Structure 1
Amino acid sequence: MKKPLTLAVAALALSAFAAPSFAADWWNPLPHIVFSKAGVNVHNYGALGDGVHDDTAAIQAAVDALPATGGTVYVPAGHYMINALKSIQLRSHTRLKMDPAATLEVIPNSASRYWVIKVWGVTDVKVVGGNIVGDRTKHKGTTGEWGYGINVVASTNVFLKNINLSNFWGDGIWIGAKDINKVHVRSDYVTVNGVVSSNNRRQGLSIGPSQHVYIVNSTFQNTNGTAPEAGIDIEPMTEGQTNTIRLEKNTFAGNNGNGIEMHANISDIAIVGNTMKGNRGFGVLGVSAPYVNVIGNYMTENGLAGVRPSGGSHDWLITGNTLKYNSTRYMSATKDGGSLSRDLQFGQKTYAITVHDNVYSNAKYNTFTK
């Protein structure tokens, strides 16, 4: 099934759309992270990786052993058990490089909130490779929804690459803000590339107050357990502003909620060239979410419509998308036809929504403009 616009055309449309502060080509799938050539191996600091021993302190000791200019912490293949109530806290100018066969797994706990890796108030940090596994199947508590794999707050120039995250009590990844010395500091320039986040309870990834966040070539799938259960949720709410976010060439599949969900206090959100398939909710849902571009995506077999701006959402551009066989909770996933609302819906309070050049389940709406 051919999309009506290429991503090149979509990019032109994106740059042309009037929004408060789009900065042209600010994103980079391979950002430059600054750290020294120094390197340490976690085995030299007592980590065993035998799937039994608590390796948290040993890995933290390796991180702390780097010079002030930073460097690389190597995690060889193995199964490392982590006390997520203590966490591994990364320093500025640090690369945590895990072997593809290395796994960091949460030691089961009963806490409502925990973190495996903290990236808090630092700059120039890279986490690459390996697997990070939560305790959702072994969790000892019943309350809370904030068990995180990687937690990025108040940090700048962060790169997460080629990591598999799964089975967290809360979210695979959180990107947001933190008060430091009574100053609200947002994360800035965070890139997530080639990550797979699956079978987490609350979200695959949540984005709180932050800016210049680029999510690319990643998969967010099978989120289930506690609402909202989205692939990605952009949810600053009243905590601060979130702006200049680009989600590109990702897959959102099988989530019990929406593929992508967005809320108030956001702007300059670009959703470009992604696939949303088989989510129980909408492919893309915005609730009082302004300044969003939905361009060149493929959305099919979602339980509700492909795209729905609702609440006070305004200043959206929806163009170049293929929206077919959605609303599967009510209609056949293989049959053409149905009303436009099968694939595209608008809340009553939305305004300034521009729609053109999309492909729908019912071909008679392919010329629909708004």
Structure 2
Amino acid sequence: MNIKQDLTHLLVALFMVLVNISMYCQNLDDSPFLNIKSFGAKGDGKTDDTPALLKAMEAATQSDGTVYFPHGNYLIHPIKVPSHITLLGYSAWGYENKDKADKDYIGKTILTAQSGDARALLNLDNNRGIRIIGLTLDGKKLGKRMHGVYARHSGSEQHNIIEDCRIQRFSGSGIRLERSWVFGVRRCLLMFNQEHGVDITGGYDGWMIDNQFTANNGYGLFARGEPHPDKTKEEIKDLKFFGGASVMVTANRIEWNKKGGIFLNKSNSMQITGCAIDHNFGPGIKITNGTAHTISGNLLRSNGVDAKDDACSQIWLENVNGVSVTGNTIWGWYNRKEYKFEFPYPFYGIIAKNLQGSVISQNAMYQSSSKEGISDRGGNGTSIIKDNAYVKPKIEKIDGGGFRILENK
């Protein structure tokens, strides 16, 4: 009797194991993850993995699939990404390798450009519902004005999202959202790009949250306000709008960019809140010819480094209507040691010229600038500019060049 019971229990257990194995295999077949190596990719930094990626993306469009990239260095030529797929990796990138102790600092899942004669390495164009997550994109400075990611709509919201990506060394911008409608850029590092970190010329209705824009040759965040010289008449007619609008720029670190932190021209309804804008080689924030912007709760520190004239400023506002600049902390940090200051940059805390219906108030401006806290250039008659706590730094020139900061008492 016991032998029969034991045999029955054994058969039941074996049956359950077989059922679980069958279900597991079925789940593998139905898995939303399409491993790019199953399509022939090597990820060895030597093989051209473009054909494998194209096959994997095509398969993803025919299923509910996500193209998954295991750790590796995937060499690819520029491609166009179809709608409603996800490109997913777990690159786990760092920042720099200053102590030479981190060989994987740029990440463990890398898409490396093999050529640069294209608009972007990943061209989203007019496609929608795309997710690019957890990848390192390396442009190797190839081509002329090739961007890392590019998108542009033709009449409908796109809702493309880029998350947890390191996008570096592109001959254009890290990301260019040209007339892109509804987008998100989150937890990304935009670094060492030859133009800007993110160019939103013509882009609107978006979110930029928890990103780091660092050491780009242009601005960290940029909206030209005018057509780029390389645009044809047909493209200009199609694009129509060349500013940026209704983008929430929140909790980003924007630093060490060569032309400045943020530049917005002919833009409207931008919200810049809770950002750290630090040590840019031009204005921390420059906004011209725009309407209805909010600049609130940000830290601006030692911007305008090496810049001349008005570019040597923390915030520069000119020909703007309905801008609110309140509750920011602005500091010059004149005794900073990590960079040699030949002159006491920045010169100006906030430059205000031709502002209508605007408010500049309640900003903490301790040693924010060496010449003026608020530089009122006129034309601000309908605006409120008051109650900003400016303390001018005491600076002493040193014989032979340079200066030193004296304690304010």
Q: Name the TM tier (shorter chain).
A: 0.7 to 0.9
Inter-partner Cα distance in structure 1 for 2:140 and 2:344: 37
Q: Deviations along 1:235-256, whole A, 9 cap, x unmatched?
A: 3535433321110000011000
Query: Superposition pairs for residues 185-224 of structure 1, below 5 Å?
Result: 187-224=180-217
Q: CA deviation at 1:210?
A: 2.6
Q: CA deviation at 1:37?
A: 6.1
Q: CA deviation at 1:152?
A: 1.9
Match of 1:59 in 2: 53
Query: Superposition pairs for residues 160-239 of structure 1, below 5 Å?
Result: 160-177=162-179, 187-224=180-217, 229-237=218-226, 239=239
C-alpha distance 108-125 of structure 1, shift in aligned 2 (>3 A): closer
Inter-partner Cα distance in structure 2 for 1:221 and 1:299: 15
* Structure whose residues are more often helix by fraction: 2
Match of 1:313 in 2: 320
Contact 1:301–1:324 (CA<8 Å) still a contact in 2?
A: yes
Inter-partner Cα distance in structure 2 for 1:165 and 1:117: 11
Inter-partner Cα distance in structure 2 for 1:198 and 1:283: 17
Letter in 2 for 1:212: D
Match of 1:342 in 2: 348
SS at match of 1:64: helix
Query: What residue ranges of structure 2 are gaps of 5+ in the alignment?
Result: 1-29, 92-107, 228-238, 305-311, 335-340, 375-385, 390-409
Contact 2:111–2:138 (CA<8 Å) still a contact in 1?
A: yes
SS at match of 1:281: coil
**Number of equivalent positions:** 300
* Structure whose residues are more often strand by fraction: 1
C-alpha distance 53-114 of structure 1, shift in aligned 2 (>3 A): farther
Inter-partner Cα distance in structure 2 for 1:291 and 1:332: 29
Q: Deviations along 1:21-65, whole A, 9 cap, x unmatched?
A: xxxxxxxxxxxxxxx963311111111111111111210110011
Q: Answer 1 or 2: higher relative contact order, Cα 8 Å, separation at least 6.
A: 1
Match of 2:393 in 1: none
SS at match of 1:308: strand
Residue from 155, 158, 161 that aligns with 1:156: 158
Contact 1:193–1:216 (CA<8 Å) still a contact in 2?
A: yes
SS at match of 1:271: strand
More displaced 10-residue stretch of structure 1: 360-369 or 44-53: 360-369
TM-score, scaled relative to structure 2? 0.68
Match of 1:147 in 2: 146
Letter in 2 for 1:342: Y
Match of 2:240 in 1: 240
C-alpha distance 306-82 of structure 1, shift in aligned 2 (>3 A): same
Match of 2:90 in 1: 99
Q: CA deviation at 1:66?
A: 2.0
Query: Superposition pairs for residues 1-370 of structure 1, below 5 Å?
Result: 38-68=32-62, 70-84=64-78, 87=79, 89-100=80-91, 101-109=108-116, 111=117, 113-136=118-141, 139=142, 144=144, 146-154=145-153, 156-177=158-179, 187-224=180-217, 229-237=218-226, 239-241=239-241, 242-264=244-266, 266-303=267-304, 304-310=312-318, 312-325=319-332, 330-331=343-344, 342-347=348-353, 349-362=354-367, 367-368=387-388
Q: CA deviation at 1:289?
A: 2.3
Inter-partner Cα distance in structure 2 for 1:108 and 1:93: 26
Q: CA deviation at 1:200?
A: 0.5
Contact 2:119–2:150 (CA<8 Å) still a contact in 1?
A: no
C-alpha distance 117-324 of structure 1, shift in aligned 2 (>3 A): same
Contact 1:108–1:135 (CA<8 Å) still a contact in 2?
A: no
Match of 2:378 in 1: none
Q: CA deviation at 1:350?
A: 3.4
SS at match of 2:350: coil
Query: What residue ranges of structure 1 are gaps of 5+ in the alignment?
Result: 1-35, 178-186, 334-340
Contact 1:70–1:92 (CA<8 Å) still a contact in 2?
A: no
* Aligned-residue CA RMSD (Å): 2.3
Q: CA deviation at 1:80?
A: 0.7
Contact 2:61–2:82 (CA<8 Å) still a contact in 1?
A: no
Letter in 1 for 2:90: D
Contact 2:364–2:388 (CA<8 Å) still a contact in 1?
A: no
Letter in 2 for 1:169: S
SS at match of 2:263: strand
